[in-house]
């Protein structure tokens, strides 16, 4: 059996969300499990968070349906909202799907769904958040549309507006001017919303960790929950977070190289002295980025060493000159507790988010500590 696999430690996940909950104080967590829980497996993660997160956030309705079909009953916030009236109509068969309204055209879609216009039997009971654009300029309504949209939404008996939200573009930076502007704009939005009993939500992981004033009623942590850092100059461990995913494999060959011997495609690395190298059964076909530079950290037999040569589809090569005990079958960690995904990501000019979501279906996910203390 191919030895590459991703160990997913659900105790680490629970540790992280508890830590984030304690940082967020009175705010509650809408745990973000979009994109298959950042590659960790959305259904398993949702189950593990059952007692920890009162709400889960997904990107789209398809993701919500997969969770409901797997028996997950936690309220689900659909961050990109509904794409069509068909989707909306279909969603009336589920409970506790919370939609995001972020564009005027969505109001037309709403009016096409008959059960939303009815009262009494056969009516829908749907909940929506209104998303305000405060400067990220991706999704969201401008402030001057807020009152009008709230009023229009109020005309659907089957629908209630439960909150106002926004999303920050630069919360991973300290002293970001845009962050300040966005926060001011959202405060204006909350003021305009008045005392309608709405909930407020603005913070992703970065804002949760760096901007406490943005915590409000609901925080929306994603990456931090998986133990990685949203900030480029920090790792998850700097905040006391534990890596949830360990991407591991084994050596399938070793070789002694002499000065002048090169390795792999493009002969991209050449030994300048006697070198012992190992071949690992992981490549870009598993989601280990091909752009990874020579020198990227990796652990063999628990010892840190580095990638040498180009990453190919099914294999990559590592320097084991100083790890004499390494042989065929020796354990290799690509990222996890010994080498953080945050650190590895830097060597591919990317962020941990893409390492996690880029892991392909060839890599089996193996879940540890499925039930609390069990
Ligand atoms: C993905 C996402 C989050 C979570 O972001 P992290 O940086 O992973 O914490 C929060 N809110 C919205 C709207 C998102 O799209």
Residue-wise pLDDT for 144-184, tens only, equals 999 999 999 999 999 999 999 999 999 999 999 999 999 99
Average pLDDT of every residue of the chain: 96
Give the number of the atom of ligand 1 that is nearest the alpha carbon of residue 38: 8
Question: Does the beta carbon of 204 sit less than 6 angstroms from any atom of ligand 1?
Answer: yes
Grade residue 195 by pLDDT with cuts at 50, 70 and 90. confident
Average pLDDT for residues 127-149, to the nearest whole number? 97
Question: Does the beta carbon of 32 sit less than 6 angstroms from any atom of ligand 1?
Answer: yes
102-137 core/surface letters (b: 16 or more CB in 10 A; e: else): bbeebeebbeebebbbeeeeebbebebbbbbbbbee
Query: Residue 9: what are its φ and ψ, rounded to 5°?
Result: -90, 105
Q: What's residue 372's pLDDT?
A: 64
Question: Does the beta carbon of 241 sit less than 6 angstroms from any atom of ligand 1?
Answer: no
Average pLDDT for residues 339-365, to the nearest whole number? 97
Strands (E), 125-212: 126-131, 159-165, 199-201
Q: Looking at the chain, how many residues does it have?
A: 374
Q: To the nearest whole percent, how much of the chain has pLDDT over 90?
A: 94
**What amino acid positions are annotated as catalytic residues?**
34, 265
Lowest mean pLDDT among 25-29, 60-64, 122-126, 325-329: 122-126
Tell me: pLDDT of 374 over 50.
no
Domain residue ranges in the chain? 10-228, 245-368
Residue 140 CA to ligand 1 centre (angstroms): 14
Question: CA 180, 184, 188: angle at the middle one, nearest 5?
Answer: 170
pTM: 0.96
Question: Does the beta carbon of 159 sit less than 6 angstroms from any atom of ligand 1?
Answer: no
Average pLDDT for residues 249-258, to the nearest whole number? 98
Q: Which CATH superfamily is domain 245-368 in?
A: Lyase, Ornithine Decarboxylase; Chain A, domain 1 (2.40.37.10)
State which of 220, 230, 234, 355 you would mutate to test the pocket of ligand 1, scoring each by most atoms of that ligand within 8 A of its C-beta.
220
Q: Specify the fold of 10-228.
A: TIM Barrel (3.20.20)
Tokens standing for residue 177:
């001017």
Q: What's residue 329's pLDDT?
A: 98
């Amino acid at each position: 059996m191919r030895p590459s696999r991703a160990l997913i430690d659900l105790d680490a996940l629970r540790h992280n969300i508890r830590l984030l909950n304690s940082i967020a104080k009175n705010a509650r967590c809408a745990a973000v499990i979009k994109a298959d829980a950042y590659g960790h497996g959305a259904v398993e993660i949702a189950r593990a968070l059952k007692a920890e997160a009162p709400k889960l956030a997904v990107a789209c309705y398809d993701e919500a349906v997969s969770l409901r079909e797997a028996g997950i009953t936690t309220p689900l916030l659909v961050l990109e909202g509904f794409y069509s009236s068909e989707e909306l109509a279909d969603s009336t068969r589920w409970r506790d799907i919370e939609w995001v309204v972020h564009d005027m055209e969505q109001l037309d879609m709403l009016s096409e769904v008959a059960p939303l216009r009815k009262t009494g039997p056969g009516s829908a009971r749907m909940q929506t958040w209104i998303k305000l654009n405060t400067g990220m300029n991706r999704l969201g309504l401008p402030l001057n549309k807020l009152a009008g949209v709230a009023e229009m939404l109020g005309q659907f008996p089957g629908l209630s507006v439960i909150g106002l939200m926004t999303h920050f573009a630069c919360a991973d930076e300290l002293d970001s001017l845009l962050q300040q502007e966005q926060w001011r704009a959202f405060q204006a939005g909350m003021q305009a919303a008045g005392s309608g009993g709405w909930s407020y939500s603005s913070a992703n992981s970065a804002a949760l960790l760096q901007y406490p004033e943005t915590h409000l009623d609901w925080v929306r942590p994603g990456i931090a929950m998986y133990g990685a850092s949203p900030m480029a100059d920090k790792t998850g461990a700097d905040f006391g977070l534990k890596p949830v995913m360990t991407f591991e494999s084994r050596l399938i060959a070793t070789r002694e190289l002499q000065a002048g011997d090169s390795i792999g495609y493009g002969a991209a690395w050449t030994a300048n002295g006697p070198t012992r190298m190992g071949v690992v059964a992981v490549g870009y076909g598993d989601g280990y980025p091909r752009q990874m530079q020579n020198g990227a950290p990796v652990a063999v037999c628990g010892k840190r060493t580095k990638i040498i040569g180009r990453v190919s589809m099914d294999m990559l090569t590592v320097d084991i000159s100083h790890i004499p005990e390494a042989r065929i079958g020796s354990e290799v960690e690509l990222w996890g507790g010994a080498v953080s995904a945050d650190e590895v990501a830097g060597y591919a000019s990317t962020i941990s988010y893409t390492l996690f979501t880029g892991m392909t279906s060839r890599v089996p996910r193996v879940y540890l500590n499925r039930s609390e203390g069990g």
